[in-house]
């Protein structure tokens, strides 16, 4: 055979292979590009929802009420769907159509979370009237009831549910030694001293630093010489009240408090305190509560955690078909440390303390479990017209975001992106929120006017704050 | 005489078709795959920073490592537009496009790297805030095999000759300070 023939045969073989390969790879590139752009669009839509939530809560004085919060979240959900419709070029499609593509949206809050997902409406036929919005058994896509970050613990004399939050605030409900308890407060170590508001004796120290009251002043007016007058004020329920010292600045008899609304002065009949002792009270109450927890629940261990129904163990099937009986802590591999005591000389507010480790475990377990239930139900409710959606496994750093901030997690699936079906999720954290004040946002002001973060590791020693004069 | 000439031409043609053509197609595919990797890496990097508000050397090194696995070298250009310390948005509803406020100043790659470069063992974090804008652009700085072959056949020259490139950017959605 001549060389020319060889070449011709070679080209006949190689050319189609090369063409097919080229178009295949190009297809893959396109699919991936589409997937990336969808990820970004989903993040943007989630951010829009978050922005809507911020707008509604930050400017609303009633946003801490449950009803109002649900309304705000539903508004955020609407924004999310509008944004999805716009971003994904599905303008005109309303929420009813788009919700088929959204298995769940999670709104994590300070001490619990909402899940927006389809569920079966439960309304017994006796209660059903013609004016009822939904029938019994109807599939409704809406907000499910609020779920707290809580865990139940049972020992021989303790049966309590502890509700955790994004910081060190906990609520304890249940019975201890047969007595019903309902206690809540902040857990903080390293507080010494006492505060008596009646005699005004204060020796509260946090990490060795004396905590003092403060007098709030603001410059709102000038005197005849053009100098600013420092005016006392106080803030009650979001409204600032200013002190009018009257004609005699030295006496308190003609003091009057007023607020300014729409540039008008409204005098109040009440006398407010000029001295703000909330910082002292915060530490004083935290000290008492922490002492109570350590006395009553000091021996509580992670292994005392039980399933919601109060059962200590459950049967699980291994992958090889054998049945094992495990407790909640074993099942989740939580360990057996004492929750409120430190084994390695850490204080409770330390991120590595037993309490904080366990708190994050409980929050994560709760979200993971309820979210996977919601997503499993979504597959049952969608009438089998989409492929089986599995809950994506969130990365560790993504959990970090969720566990430390108020955030929104959204899922989107079932969109065709050529070659495969899009399955994506997005997490956007809310750092501008009224829901929670992070520990890191608590500052100690010294008399020099310097701000120190209360959680700084070098707060004490290193001549950092000790230099300041109180 | 004529036969010899044809034989020479055929041999040259054979060499081109049997070796260079397959080599070119394969190196083109390699570049496509690299393009995929680079695009994914850049998007992940930018989206991570946008949603956490934190830029660290760890994240940057991870990006550079992922890029290096493609076997090429890259120019990574970062651009951070920082919303001025005194933004006009005193409340979330106020007019954000008011003239004279909401000024952005820009940090570029070298300034960003100076800020996050760990000194004496302590890691440094560049904390971004909501409203900042961050974008990354990556393009290959070496000549890939397919570029070499192409310039051998038909010359492509100039400084901007790159085949693998990716860009991604967006607004930062979270405040990076604190937790």
pLDDT of residue A116: 92
The nearest CA of chain B is from the CA of A123 a distance in Å of 41
d(C-alpha A283, C-alpha A172), whole Å: 19
Nearest to A7 among B18, B47, B48 (CB): B18
Flag if B51 and A429 touch (Cβ within 8 Å).
Answer: yes
Q: Which residues lie across from A443 on neighbouring strands?
A: A453
Q: Which residues lie across from A415 on neighbouring strands?
A: A422
* Rounded alpha-carbon distances, angstroms, from residue A61 to A68, A110, A239, A408, A434: 10, 17, 10, 22, 10
What's the number of CA atoms in the CB half-sphere (13 Å) around residue B76? 23
- Regarding an ipTM greater than 0.90, the answer is no
Quick: pLDDT tens for A204-262. Answer: 888 777 888 888 888 877 778 888 888 888 888 777 888 887 777 777 777 888 888 88
Nearest to B17 among A11, A21, A29 (CB): A11
Is the minimum CB–CB distance between B175 and chain A shorter than 8 Å?
A: yes
Flag if B175 and A431 touch (Cβ within 8 Å).
Answer: yes
pLDDT of residue A180: 93
Burial of A105 (0-12, 13-18, 19+ CB in 10 A): buried
Q: Chain B interface, mutation test: which of A13, A18, A455, most B Cβ atoms within 10 Å? A: A18
Which has the minimum average pLDDT: A45-49, A196-200, A264-268, B52-56? A196-200
Mean pLDDT (chain B) is 82
Quick: pLDDT tens for A333-365. Answer: 788 888 888 776 778 888 788 888 889 889 999
Size of interface A-B (CB pairs under 8 A): 92
Flag if B13 and A7 touch (Cβ within 8 Å).
Answer: yes
Nearest to B18 among A10, A32, A36 (CB): A10
Three-state DSSP string of chain A: CCHHHHHHHHHHHHHHHHHHHHHHHHHHHHHHHHHHHHHHHHHHHHHHHHHHHHHHHHCCCCCCCHHHHHHHHHHHHHHHHHHHHHHCCCCCCCHHHHHHHCCCEEEECCCEEEEEEEEECCCCCCCCCCCCCCCCCCEEEEECCCEECEEEEECCCEEEEEECCCCCEEEEEEEECCEEEEEEEECCCCEECCEECCCCEECCEECCEECCCEECEEEEEECCCCCEEEEEEEEECCEEEEEECCCCCCCCCCCEEEEEECCEEEEECCCCCCEECHHHHHHHHHHHHHHHHHHHHCCCEHHHEECCCCCCEEEEECCCCCEEEEEHHHHCCCCCCECCCCCCCCCCCCCCCHHHHHHHHHHHHHHHHHHHHHHHHHHHHCCCCCCCCCCCCCCHHHHHHHHHCEEEEEEEEEEECCCCEEEEEEEEEECCCCCCCCHHHCEEECCCCCEEECCCCCCCCCCCCCCCCC
d(C-alpha A203, C-alpha A193), whole Å: 5
Please name which of B171, B174, B178 lies closest in space to residue B81, comparing C-alpha atoms. Answer: B171
For residues A444 and A460, is the Cβ–Cβ distance under 8 A?
no
Burial of B110 (0-12, 13-18, 19+ CB in 10 A): exposed
d(C-alpha B44, C-alpha B173), whole Å: 15
Of chain B residues 97-136, which have a CB less than 8 A from chain A?
130
> Does the structure show a pLDDT above 70 at A404?
yes
Quick: pLDDT tens for A94-109. Answer: 777 788 888 899 999 8
In the numeric block, the tokens 């308890």 are attached to: A181
Which has the minimum average pLDDT: A52-66, A168-182, A275-289, B10-24? A52-66
- Percent of chain A having pLDDT more than 90? 12
pLDDT of residue B179: 45
The nearest CA of chain A is from the CA of B52 a distance in Å of 7
Flag if A4 and B10 touch (Cβ within 8 Å).
Answer: yes
Please name which of A289, A37, A72 lies closest in space to residue A162, comparing C-alpha atoms. Answer: A289
Q: Chain B interface, mutation test: which of A79, A403, A431, most B Cβ atoms within 10 Å? A: A431
Residue A393 main-chain phi, psi, to 5 deg:
-80, 120
Cα nearest neighbour of A395 on chain B? B48
Give the pLDDT band of residue A469 (cuts 50, 70, 90): very low
Q: Chain B interface, mutation test: which of A25, A360, A396, A439, most B Cβ atoms within 10 Å? A: A25
> Does the structure show a pLDDT above 60 at B178?
no
Q: Looking at residues A313-332, what average pLDDT do you find?
A: 80
Annotated domain spans of chain B = 34-171
Flag if B51 and A6 touch (Cβ within 8 Å).
Answer: no
Quick: pLDDT tens for B28-82. Answer: 888 888 988 999 899 989 988 988 888 988 899 999 999 999 989 999 999 999 8
Chain B residues with CB inside 8 Å of A427's CB? 51
Flag if B93 and A59 touch (Cβ within 8 Å).
Answer: yes
Chain A contact residues (CB < 8 Å to B) = 3-4, 6-7, 10-11, 14, 18, 21-22, 25-26, 28-29, 32-33, 36, 39-40, 43-44, 47, 50-51, 54-55, 58-59, 397, 401, 404-405, 426-432, 438, 440-441
Which has the minimum average pLDDT: A173-177, A377-381, A432-436, B58-62? A432-436
Choose the most confident range, by mean pLDDT, from A121-135, A318-332, A343-357, B46-60. B46-60
Q: Chain A interface, mutation test: which of B9, B28, B51, B132, most A Cβ atoms within 10 Å? A: B51
Mean pLDDT (chain A) is 82
Chain A residues with CB inside 8 Å of B8's CB? none
Flag if B29 and A54 touch (Cβ within 8 Å).
Answer: no
d(C-alpha B36, C-alpha A194), whole Å: 63
Is the minimum CB–CB distance between B22 and chain A shorter than 8 Å?
A: yes
Is the minimum CB–CB distance between B28 and chain A shorter than 8 Å?
A: yes
pTM: 0.80
Q: Looking at residues A58-82, what average pLDDT do you find?
A: 81
Q: Which residues contact A172 (CB under 8 A, 6 or more apart)?
A: A160, A161, A162, A181, A182, A183, A184, A293, A297
Nearest to B51 among A4, A33, A427 (CB): A427
pLDDT of residue A63: 63
């Amino acid at each position: 055979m001549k060389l020319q023939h060889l070449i011709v045969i070679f080209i006949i073989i190689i050319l189609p292979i090369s063409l097919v390969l080229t178009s295949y790879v190009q297809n893959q590139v396109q699919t991936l590009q589409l997937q990336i752009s969808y990820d970004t669009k989903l993040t943007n839509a989630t951010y829009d929802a978050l922005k809507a939530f911020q707008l509604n809560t930050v400017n609303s004085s009633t946003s801490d009420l449950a009803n109002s919060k649900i309304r705000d979240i539903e508004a955020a959900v609407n924004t999310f769907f509008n944004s999805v419709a716009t971003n994904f070029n599905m303008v005109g499609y309303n929420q009813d159509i788009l919700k088929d593509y959204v298995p769940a949206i999670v709104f994590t809050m300070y001490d619990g979370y909402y899940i927006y997902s389809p569920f079966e409406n439960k309304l017994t036929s006796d209660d059903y009237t013609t004016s009822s919005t939904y029938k019994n058994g109807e599939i409704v896509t809406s907000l499910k009831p609020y779920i707290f970050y809580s865990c139940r613990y049972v020992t021989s004399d303790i049966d309590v549910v502890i509700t955790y939050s994004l910081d060190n605030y906990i609520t304890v409900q249940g019975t201890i030694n047969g007595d019903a308890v309902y206690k809540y407060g902040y857990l903080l170590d390293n507080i010494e001293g006492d505060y008596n508001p009646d005699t005004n004796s204060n020796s509260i120290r946090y990490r060795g630093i004396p905590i003092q009251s403060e007098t709030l002043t603001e410059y709102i007016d000038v005197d005849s010489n053009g100098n600013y007058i420092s005016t006392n004020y106080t803030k009650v329920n979001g409204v600032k009240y200013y002190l009018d010292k009257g004609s005699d600045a030295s006496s308190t008899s003609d003091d009057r408090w007023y607020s300014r609304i729409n540039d008008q002065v409204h005098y109040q009949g009440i006398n407010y305190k000029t001295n703000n002792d909330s910082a002292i009270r915060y530490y004083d109450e935290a000290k008492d509560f922490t002492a109570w927890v350590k006395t009553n629940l000091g021996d509580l261990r992670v292994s005392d955690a039980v399933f919601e129904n109060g059962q200590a163990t459950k049967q699980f099937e291994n992958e090889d078909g054998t049945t094992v009986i495990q407790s909640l802590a074993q099942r989740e591999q939580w360990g057996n440390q004492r929750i409120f005591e430190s084994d390695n000389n850490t204080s409770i507010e330390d991120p590595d303390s037993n309490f904080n480790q366990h708190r994050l475990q409980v929050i994560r377990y709760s979200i993971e479990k309820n979210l996977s239930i919601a997503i499993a139900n979504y597959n049952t409710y969608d009438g089998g017209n989409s492929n089986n959606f599995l809950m994506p496994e969130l990365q560790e750093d993504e959990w970090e975001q969720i566990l430390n901030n108020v955030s929104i997690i959204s899922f989107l699936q079932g969109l065709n992106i050529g070659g495969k079906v899009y399955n994506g999720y997005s997490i956007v954290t809310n750092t501008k929120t009224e829901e929670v004040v992070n520990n890191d946002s608590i500052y100690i002001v010294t008399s020099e006017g310097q701000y120190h973060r209360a959680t700084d590791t070098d707060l004490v020693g290193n001549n950092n704050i000790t230099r300041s004069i109180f | 005489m004529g036969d010899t000439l044809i034989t020479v031409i055929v041999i040259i043609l054979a060499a081109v078709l049997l070796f260079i053509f397959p080599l070119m197609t394969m190196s083109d595919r390699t570049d496509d795959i690299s393009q995929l990797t680079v695009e994914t890496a850049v998007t992940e990097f930018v989206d991570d920073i946008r949603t956490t508000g934190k830029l660290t050397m760890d994240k940057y090194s991870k990006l550079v490592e992922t890029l290096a696995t493609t076997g090429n070298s890259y120019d990574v250009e970062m651009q951070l537009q920082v919303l001025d310390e005194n933004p006009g948005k005193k409340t979330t509803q106020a007019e954000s496009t008011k003239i004279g406020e909401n000024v952005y100043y820009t940090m570029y790659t070298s300034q960003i790297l100076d800020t996050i470069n760990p000194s004496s063992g302590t890691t440094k974090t560049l904390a971004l805030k909501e409203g900042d804008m961050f974008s990354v652009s990556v393009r290959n700085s070496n000549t890939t095999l397919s570029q070499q072959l192409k310039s051998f056949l038909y010359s492509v020259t100039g400084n901007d000759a790159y085949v693998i490139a990716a860009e991604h950017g967006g607004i930062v959605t979270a405040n990076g300070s604190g937790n």
